[in-house]
Amino acid sequence: MRFNPTDANAPRAPWWLTTLAIGGIFFLHFPIIMVALYAFNTEESAFSFPLQGFTFRWFIAASERSDLLEAVWLSIKIALIATVSALVLGTMAAAALYRRNFFGKEAITLVLILPIALPGIVTGIALLSAFRLADIETGFWTIAIGHATFCVVVIYNNVVARLRRSAYSLIEASMDLGADGWQTFRYVLLPQLATSLLAGAVLAFALSFDEIIVTTFTAGQQQTLPIWLLNQLGRPRDVPVTNVVALGIMLLTTLPILLAWRLTQGTEDTAGASK
Amino acid sequence: MHIAVEFQQVSRHFGGVRAVDEVSVQIMDGEFFSMLGPSGSGKTTCLRLIAGFEQASAGAIFIHGVSAQGLPPYRRDVNTVFQDYALFPHMNILDNVAYGLKVKGIGQAERYRQAEAALDMVALGGFGARKPGQMSGGQRQRVALARALVNQPRVLLLDEPLGALDLKLREQMQSELKALQKQLGITFIYVTHDQGEALSMSDRVAVFNQGKIEQIDTPKMLYSQPKTVFVADFVGTANVIRGALAEQITGAAQAFAVRPEQIRLGASTSEPQINGQVADIHYLGASSRLALQVSSGERVWVTLANDSAVIPAIGSALTVHWPKHSMVLLNETAS
Amino acid sequence: MSSPTQFPNQWMPLRRLSDLFWRQPKLLLLVLLLPPLAWFGIVYLGSLLALLWQSFYTFDDFTMAVTQQLTLANYQALFDAANYDVVLRTFVMACAVTLASAILGFPIAYYMARYAKGWQKGAMYVAVMLPMWASYIVKAYAWTVILAKGGVVYWFYNQLGLSSVIDALLALPSIGGNSLSTSNLGRFTVFTYIWLPFMILPIQASIERIPANLIQASADLGATPRQTFSTVILPLAFPGVVAGSIFTFSLTLGDYIIPQLIGPSGLYIGTMVYTMQGSIGNIPLAAAFTVVPVLIIALYLTIARRLGAFDAL
């Protein structure tokens, strides 16, 4: 039996602990609230508080910036390519590794995790130096390759968790009833994995969409949205548009996690617990 | 009579472990055949070898005369009822039962008709729209049965199918399964660790121990004429007497078994007998079981009907005897 | 099984392939593993090894060119006072951030695991997960807004009449600076904020795993709640703290965006690497620098493994 917090006679938290917990949660959300507020601020070039006034003007201004729209489009394209590649590679790795034990399995798992376990700067400069050695010009595809590399583990974790929980006898039952490997994959395995694949894909998309550390090394002249934002920070004139974009990115990275959380609800997969 | 499944010197090794060790057996067409043994004795692995979930390390398996070598499960005319039922959680009951027909490419209308008929056969007509999660354990068990039988296999494999059910339901399902097998006339291969279950349902039983078969026989012969110490011990309760005491009684150094219910109170001049002291008495309702401590160290169990004799008191000295013909000479292991 | 009949939707080649994989499970394993292994082996490990190799190349300070002559000079250079300072500065910050995250994160995780009930539990989980996944760059940007002169923090202290507190804090050596956003205090705050959720979740998971009957048994044996906490809960939650610290430590060690945006001008390992490979083009020294966090983290992971942190991940 595990600790059951819904127990009616569970102890009540002391007031100071409740205060610390609520305070901590507030601390975690405070900057997010601030970003949301400043997006509607009328002030043009500073961050003074209290806010000066309320306007939607900057949303329109932002939508007219072609450099911004290009950055958004680039980020979406890269996130899609990275997610699809990671889905294929991560699912294959999960299917190969979840049940069998063989020599070198630990090492393979470690390698999959390495891109998010090592500081992004190591991955970034390693990729960059390799691209330079191989005489590959950095740009769209080099960004996508980098992103796919660290997205694989997100898919892998989600799929492995689901596979470990679903009974292997389902696969045997399917084959026993006359389905070959392909039919078993299509009719039994894929429906079982569907939500974990979707959750993984959504997380991978968010991870790629937001990535900046590896991207600055592999991007060459390309500007993904986070890089666009980073470059904006040196330009006080553009503060209002920057605020709007910040809110937009914030929403695009947090909504997927809500979706992924819902998809894995009631199962023991922990979506995103390993960003 | 045709042979449904034949094992010729079949072994299955997992690393250094011999899960199945040179097993040979012939299972007849239309037979209710049980594989009985403790967990890890190799009985489930044998079943999985027939189903095609495992491949033999050595030896040959024939299913209706055709070598199973290299045949994946979906190319074998056998179906399995799994211990955990293995119903597909994302499909409703009807789709679960129709699955085997679907992957064979049978049209929807026809496969639903057959699936409904199979559900009727296990008394679950009208449950087709439910999901497995909404069914009780007993119901899921019947669905698993219908899902296997709808494919009209010539051999049905059952892997401890009643293990998860409570006692009452288990007894009811035992008689239903037996009746179903009679009605369909197909071979049932039934894996269980419950000797009572194996004895009550089977035409023949194979007793497994450490990857080998100790004895294959009818339930009656298994009980009355066990060949090895293990079988005597595992099937029913038996007093297995070895060594000096055995030699003293039989005149040979071979182990023998005698069932507790064959033992009578009192001395006898013509039958084998033993003296001892009553060490313990277990009251079992219709009968009592009495432990007799023999001076050489063995304990002999004696079953006494509660309506007949006076039950001796704990600590009292007692002499018991048994008919000579109820003694069975045993080998230590299967030859 | 007399003669295997073929049905319409059992496409033969696929079934043949399926047969093959059933007979040769290792072949299936190989087919499944080959693409991910090839990708990671070539793209990722290849890059890492290439980087390691280049850390032995020679960089000519006069011509600003890299030659393939192998040397240990780059590693020697790490021990130059200036470079050594960079490593030390980053290391101290990583330790401070890890410590602060553990102190801040523990009560939150403890509350989540032990006191949050029903919907509250789910809500708190999302409330920690959401800021963790919210865009990193936007969070960093948000802090430049918050800590700006005239921004909300300054406003808050002014309202309370405590602006002298900020001045006093900023006057302190080593953590102070001209303003909040150019002080080490500000940088430390932002680092702690950004990596805090990575500390909370593993601690919460490890406390959650403590069986209820263990706590009841402790109480039953006469321990006060305080004793139960220090003798049962804390030791069992510790692997969670270590697991969380892997993230906070490693992420701080390798970060190079936050040191650019907030805090004083001194370089960090990350900014150093970025500068070396970028404007100067000294990839060999940059490569040698990246070996430092990798080694520190490898060492840290070895210790963490000993402390049982991997079970808490």
Could you give the dihedral angle defined by the CA atoms of residues A93, A97, A99 and A100, in that order, rounded to the nearest 10 degrees? 140
Give the mutation candidate from A100, A176, A193 for the B interface (greatest B CB count, under 10 A). Answer: A176
C50 close to A (CB below 8 A)? yes
Q: Find chain A residues with C-beta within 8 A of C118's C-beta.
A: 6
Instruction: Establish, for the pair of chains B and C, how many residue pairs have beta carbons separated by less than 8 Å.
Output: 31
- Every domain of chain A and the residues it spans: 13-55, 65-263
Say whether the ipTM exceeds 0.90.
Answer: no
Cα(C100)–Cα(A61) distance, rounded to whole angstroms? 40
Interface of B with C (CB under 8 A): 52, 55, 63-64, 66, 70-77, 103-106, 154
C27 close to A (CB below 8 A)? no
pLDDT of amino acid A7 = 46
Subunits that touch chain A (at least 3 Cβ pairs < 8 angstroms)?
Answer: B, C
Closest CB to A129: pick one of C50, C117, C137: C50
Q: What DSSP letter does each residue of B65-89 carry, written as one string?
A: TEE-TT--GGGSSEEEE-TT----T
Interface of A with B (CB under 8 A): 167, 169-170, 172-180, 183, 187-188, 191-192
Cα(C6)–Cα(C203) distance, rounded to whole angstroms? 56
Residue C108 sits in the same domain as residue C26: no
Given a contact cutoff of 8 angstroms between Cβ atoms, the answer to whether B277 and B316 are in contact is yes
Given a contact cutoff of 8 angstroms between Cβ atoms, the answer to whether B15 and B9 are in contact is no
CA distance to C140, C243, C258, per residue, from C143 (Å)? 5, 26, 10
Residue C42 sits in the same domain as residue C79: no
Q: Find chain B residues with C-beta within 8 A of C18's C-beta.
A: 72, 74
Cα(A18)–Cα(C156) distance, rounded to whole angstroms? 23
Residue C257 sits in the same domain as residue C118: yes
Q: Find chain A residues with C-beta within 8 A of B104's C-beta.
A: 178
Share of chain B above pLDDT 70, in %: 99
Q: Judging by beta carbons within 10 Å of its beta carbon (0-12, 13-18, 19+), is residue B78 exposed, middle or buried?
A: buried
Q: Which string of b and e fits C145-164 if b means at least 16 CB within 10 Å?
A: bbbbeebbbbeebeeeeeee
Give the mutation candidate from C1, C6, C16 for the B interface (greatest B CB count, under 10 A). Answer: C1
Q: Find chain C residues with C-beta within 8 A of A176's C-beta.
A: none
Instruction: Establish, for the pair of chains A and B, how many residue pairs have beta carbons separated by less than 8 Å.
Output: 64
pLDDT of amino acid C62 = 78
Instruction: Establish, for the pair of chains A and C, how many residue pairs have beta carbons separated by less than 8 Å.
Output: 299
Inspect the interface and report whether the beta carbons of A31 and C110 lie closer than 8 Å. no
Shortest distance, CA B290 to any CA of chain A (angstroms): 40
CATH number (1.10.1660.10, 3.30.56.10, 1.10.3720.10, 2.70.98.70) of A65-263 reads 1.10.3720.10
| Chain A: residue whose CA lies nearest to C37 | A108
Residue C169 sits in the same domain as residue C267: yes
Q: Judging by beta carbons within 10 Å of its beta carbon (0-12, 13-18, 19+), is residue C118 exposed, middle or buried?
A: exposed
Q: Which superfamily does B3-225 belong to?
A: P-loop containing nucleotide triphosphate hydrolases (3.40.50.300)
Give the mutation candidate from B71, B76, B78, B79 for the C interface (greatest C CB count, under 10 A). Answer: B71
C29: in domain: yes
Shortest distance, CA C135 to any CA of chain A (angstroms): 5
Q: Quick check: helix, strand or coil at residue C114?
A: helix
pLDDT grade for A241, boundaries at 50, 70 and 90? confident
Residue C49 sits in the same domain as residue C88: no
C287: in domain: yes
HSE-up (13 A, CA, CB side) for residue C196 = 29
Residue C137 sits in the same domain as residue C254: yes
Residue C49 sits in the same domain as residue C104: no
Give the mutation candidate from B14, B90, B92, B160 for the A interface (greatest A CB count, under 10 A). Answer: B90
Given a contact cutoff of 8 angstroms between Cβ atoms, the answer to whether B63 and B140 are in contact is no
Q: Which string of b and e fits B113-143 if b means at least 16 CB within 10 Å?
A: ebbbebbebbebeebbebebeebeebbbbbb
Cα(C295)–Cα(C306) distance, rounded to whole angstroms? 17
Q: Find chain B residues with C-beta within 8 A of A172's C-beta.
A: 51, 53, 73, 80, 82, 86
pLDDT of amino acid B192 = 95
The verdict on pTM exceeding 0.80 is yes
Longest dimension (CA), chain C: 94
| Chain C: residue whose CA lies nearest to B155 | C1
Q: Find chain A residues with C-beta within 8 A of C198's C-beta.
A: 275
Q: Find chain B residues with C-beta within 8 A of C16's C-beta.
A: none
pLDDT at B118 over 90: yes
Q: Find chain B residues with C-beta within 8 A of A170's C-beta.
A: 86, 88-89
Residue C288 sits in the same domain as residue C180: yes
Domain holding C102, by residue range, is: 75-312
Q: Find chain A residues with C-beta within 8 A of B78's C-beta.
A: 176
Give the mutation candidate from A7, A18, A27, A28 for the C interface (greatest C CB count, under 10 A). Answer: A28
Give the mutation candidate from A125, A128, A175 for the C interface (greatest C CB count, under 10 A). Answer: A125
Computed over every residue of chain B, the mean pLDDT equals 91
Mean pLDDT by 10 residues, chain C (313 residues): 47 85 89 93 90 88 81 87 89 94 94 85 88 89 86 84 81 79 90 94 89 84 84 87 88 88 86 83 87 87 75 56
Q: Find chain C residues with C-beta within 8 A of B55's C-beta.
A: 23
Tokens standing for A33? 């609230």
Q: Find chain B residues with C-beta within 8 A of C19's C-beta.
A: 70, 72, 75
Closest CB to B86: pick one of A172, A178, A191: A172
pLDDT at B130 over 90: yes
Cα(B126)–Cα(A47) distance, rounded to whole angstroms? 68
Residue C114 sits in the same domain as residue C37: no
Q: Quick check: helix, strand or coil at residue A275?
A: coil
Stronger pLDDT, B329 or B99, i.e. the higher one: B99
Shortest distance, CA B62 to any CA of chain A (angstroms): 17
State pLDDT tens for residues A29-86.
999 998 888 888 777 766 777 777 777 777 887 788 888 889 999 999 999 999 999 9
pLDDT of amino acid C6 = 46
Inspect the interface and report whether the beta carbons of B72 and C19 lie closer than 8 Å. yes
Computed over every residue of chain A, the mean pLDDT equals 84
How many domains would you assign to chain C? 2
Inspect the interface and report whether the beta carbons of A187 and B103 lie closer than 8 Å. yes
- Every domain of chain B and the residues it spans: 3-225, 237-329
| Chain C: residue whose CA lies nearest to A3 | C212
Domain B237-329 has CATH 3.90.1150.10: no
C256: in domain: yes
Inspect the interface and report whether the beta carbons of B88 and A183 lie closer than 8 Å. no
Inspect the interface and report whether the beta carbons of C257 and A212 lie closer than 8 Å. yes
Closest CB to C18: pick one of B71, B72, B77: B72
Q: How many residues are recorded in chain C?
A: 313
Closest CB to A246: pick one of C32, C50, C141: C141
pLDDT grade for A6, boundaries at 50, 70 and 90? very low
C3: in domain: no
Subunits that touch chain B (at least 3 Cβ pairs < 8 angstroms)?
Answer: A, C
C138 close to B (CB below 8 A)? no
The structure tokens 């996508």 sit at: A144
Inspect the interface and report whether the beta carbons of B105 and C18 lie closer than 8 Å. no
Tokens standing for A222? 């390309």
| Chain C: residue whose CA lies nearest to B102 | C9
Subunits that touch chain C (at least 3 Cβ pairs < 8 angstroms)?
Answer: A, B
pLDDT grade for A23, boundaries at 50, 70 and 90? very high
pLDDT of amino acid B334 = 63
